[in-house]
Each structure stands twice: as C-alpha cells, then as structure tokens.
Chain A
C-alpha cells in the first residue's frame, strides 16, 4: 500500500485527453514538489515532470503537471498509442523518497 494514492488504471481514445491523480498528505505532497515518471513496457522509468509542472528537455508539451494542496495531477493531451505505459508520481517526505502505486494508461 503506497503512501501516495493513484488510480490503478485510466483509459482514453487516441487524440483525447487524460488526467492521472496522485493523492498524498501534508507531510509529503503538501510540503514538497511532485515529479512524474513514465515507464514503457520492459523499460526503465523516464522522468516526465519535475517540480510539479516543469518538463525536462525533450518532453513534449502534451504532458503537463499541476499540484493543489495535497494532490497532484498529470495531464496528457493528444493521446497516442505510444503513450500506453505505467505512470508514477513521486515526492519527498522527511528525507525519504516516495512513489505512488502507479497508473496503467490504456489508449483504446
């Protein structure tokens, strides 16, 4: 059971928009920045978003992040079949790193 709660799965059609939520508490998300990771099947995780809403170089602006209080959200617009992956939120709590349980995105 992860301290950060994500929906197990979400789905949407190609071209549509999807959001993935990540719920925490005041000691983790509430007082720290959130990052998001994409893990394509059989590969290592990849950083998508850091500091709540910043994208590393090379990450398309179809991916966005936001945070409000003790929750964070990853948004993906213009869905593509290549976006099918597991997505994880991450943050910090008293010198310890945390991950959400992960959300499987299916592009129908």
Chain B
C-alpha cells in the first residue's frame, strides 16, 4: 500500500523559513517523479513543484521560484520542500503527491498524502 506522510508544517513569521518532509512507502520511491501541491484555506489546488527520479530536473510554479527548493533523498525514501522568505500568501495545506507518468500519456497525481498545514503570520 502506497503511503505518503508529510511533516514539518507549523506557524512561521513572514520572511521566515520552514522545511517540509514527506516519508514515502509502498512503492519504489527512486523510480518516480514526486510533487508538492498546496491548497490555501477555502481555495483550490495549486501545483507547487515537481522533481525527477534522480533529482536532475526540478520545476516550480512562478510564485515560489527563487524561494522554495524541492529535493529528495532516495536512500531515505523522502521528499522535501525548503521554503524561504515565506509570505502570508504561502499559507496553505501542503500535500506530497506521487506523480505517475505512463508511456505516451501525461503526468497525473495518483497518490496523495494527508497534508501538512503551513501558516505564515506575525
């Protein structure tokens, strides 16, 4: 059974930093792209970042470029999101998601964690 368990959320002041973690199990972590998706309170889903199996390719939504860094440790089956220069508008539940990408298809998110809440406020 695939499991994704996020941790590291909490309350942080504007301009501060936070590092989210996602512990993965139930699949061969090193064989898959992984992602972070967020959802502000009462709002829709917003994709944040994707990372390739070996970490050689990373993609970000424009609003977090230069502030957030996605990374992974395949030996520890773990995904991370380092968030710096946090703003009030970064307040959201952050989900870790498994990105499936079949031959001749387009990527989609087939497994999601339960999410971790990040609140940016003074």
Q: Which residues of A contact B (CB under 8 A)?
A: 2, 32-35, 37, 39, 44-47, 50-51, 56, 86, 88, 90-92, 95-102
Contact = CB atoms under 8 A, between A and B. Distances in A.
Interface in B75-122: 95, 99-100, 102, 105-115
Q: Is the interface of B mostly helix, strand, loop or mixed?
A: strand
Interface residues of B, number: 25
Q: Is the interface of A mostly helix, strand, loop or mixed?
A: strand
> 9 tightest CB-CB pairs across the interface, nearest first?
A35-B108, A33-B106, A102-B44, A97-B47, A32-B106, A44-B112, A50-B108, A99-B45, A92-B106
B8 to A, nearest CB: 17
Interface of B: 35, 37, 44-47, 50, 57, 59, 61, 95, 99-100, 102, 105-115
Given A35-B108, A46-B112, A97-B107, 19 more contacts: A33-B105, A33-B108, A35-B109, A45-B37, A45-B109, A47-B108, A47-B111, A50-B110, A51-B106, A56-B110, A86-B44, A90-B45, A90-B109, A91-B106, A92-B107, A97-B37, A97-B50, A99-B44, A99-B46
